[in-house]
Amino acid sequence: MKRPKINIPIVEIPYSDKVKLFIKREDLIHPEISGNKYWKLFFNINHYLENRPENPLIITFGGAFSNHISAVSAIGNLAGIKTLGIIRGEELEKKWTHNPTLVFAKKNGMNLKFVTREEYRHKDKLTEFLQQEFPQALIIPEGGTNKNAVYGVKMMLNNDTKDFDYLCTAVGTGGTLAGISEFCEENQKVIGFKVVDDSSLESKISELTSKQNFYLTDAAYGGYGKINDENVRFINGFKMKFDIPLEPVYTGKMMQKVLEMIDADYFPEGSKILCFHTGGLQGIEGANMLLEKQSRNLII
């Protein structure tokens, strides 16, 4: 993977007179490997390829609408590397053609292996087994989170991000937050917006960063991947007002919670807040399919 040439824009969101709110548009980094995915995969894949494996193969894990699966399949396609996705939910084997993320992954040449939720829960065992079967393969954990990913997230920080009091990101597996925490300036505070109910996240993140500068807040709005009508209204209103697309699993929930916190005067007056747009917009199509089935308003 090459370092992208574009300078990622930081855009002001004119929301409040009390604080200054900005979004860093990491979603614009690449049309298919967007947001934090680019940087979480960057060192993982480059280190693997430096050793020139004879038959390179990348294996990774994800759910039905996974942004990570989508990004890994795109890299495989662009770099001519075989990819294998271990997908949670054996029921998807018969209906993956109705899932835009999995159709995209297949189109990119990714092999898909569907496993039961029980098997998926024991990913460590599966990883061991797969590494024995494919000794040359690079096996990347779910969500791409590992030490290399944390190091890659450093690239989301630069001179332009130093001036902010608060750095905000959505938290799934915690790698992105850990990278921001580890590599930001000493005086900056990091807020992680948990979109998943996982009480072990804080300790998992603490294993990946040496700093204690982060605070986690709940932004799950009913659970991982659950989308309520207010989430949809918020995302659509945000796009109409500020011309920035958000998706319903990560960035939409983070921004909704950030604005709630601004309204509740959580941030001291004059604070400068930077939210990372971590991409994932590919997920909107799948989300809209589910919303349509339930005859609900769609994401525009």
Ligand X SMILES: Cc1ncc(COP(=O)(O)O)c(C=O)c1O
Q: 247-270 burial, b for 16+ CB within 10 Å, e for fewer?
A: bbbbbbbbbbbbbebbeeebbeee
The residues in 22-41 that bind ligand X, with binding defined as CB under 6 A, are 35-36
Residue 282 within binding range of ligand X, rule CB under 6 A: no
The Cα–Cα gap between 162 and 160 comes to 6
Q: Which stretch binds ligand X (CB under 6 A): 54-62, 175-183, 216-224, 229-237?
A: 175-183
The residues in 77-136 that bind ligand X, with binding defined as CB under 6 A, are none
- For residue 123, give the amino acid letter: K
The Cα–Cα gap between 206 and 171 comes to 13
Nearest to 282 by CA among 254, 246, 256, 258: 246
Q: Residues 173, 181, 282, 288: which binds ligand X (CB under 6 A)? A: 173
Give the residue with the Cβ less far from ligand X, 81 or 249. Answer: 249
Residue 68 within binding range of ligand X, rule CB under 6 A: yes
Nearest to 75 by CA among 152, 186, 182, 184: 152
Instruction: Report the residue number whose CB is nearest to ligand X.
Output: 280
Residue 174 within binding range of ligand X, rule CB under 6 A: yes
Phi, psi (rounded to 5 degrees) for 290: -65, -40
Residue 188 within binding range of ligand X, rule CB under 6 A: no
The nearest distance, CB 80 to ligand X, in angstroms, is: 25
3-state secondary structure of 48: helix
Q: 93-119 burial, b for 16+ CB within 10 Å, e for fewer?
A: eeebeebbbbebbbebebebebbeeee
Residue 286 within binding range of ligand X, rule CB under 6 A: no
Give the residue with the Cβ less far from ligand X, 115 or 168. Answer: 168
Q: Which stretch binds ligand X (CB under 6 A): 45-53, 82-90, 212-220, 276-284?
A: 276-284
Residue 176 within binding range of ligand X, rule CB under 6 A: yes
Give the residue with the Cβ less far from ligand X, 19 or 29. Answer: 29
Tokens found for residue 162? 């130093």
User: Per 3-state DSSP, what percentage of the chain is helix, strand, and coil (rounded to 5)?
Assistant: 45, 15, 40
Residue 171 within binding range of ligand X, rule CB under 6 A: yes
Tokens found for residue 289? 């399919």
Nearest to 54 by CA among 165, 135, 147, 141: 135
Q: Which stretch binds ligand X (CB under 6 A): 42-50, 171-179, 230-238, 288-296?
A: 171-179
Residue 280 within binding range of ligand X, rule CB under 6 A: yes
Residue 170 within binding range of ligand X, rule CB under 6 A: yes
The nearest distance, CB 170 to ligand X, in angstroms, is: 4
Q: Residues 250, 257, 286, 288: which binds ligand X (CB under 6 A)? A: 250
- Residue identified by tokens 């941030």 is 267
Give the residue with the Cβ less far from ligand X, 76 or 192. Answer: 192
Which residues form the interface with ligand X (CB under 6 A)?
35-36, 67-68, 143, 145, 170-177, 250-251, 278-280
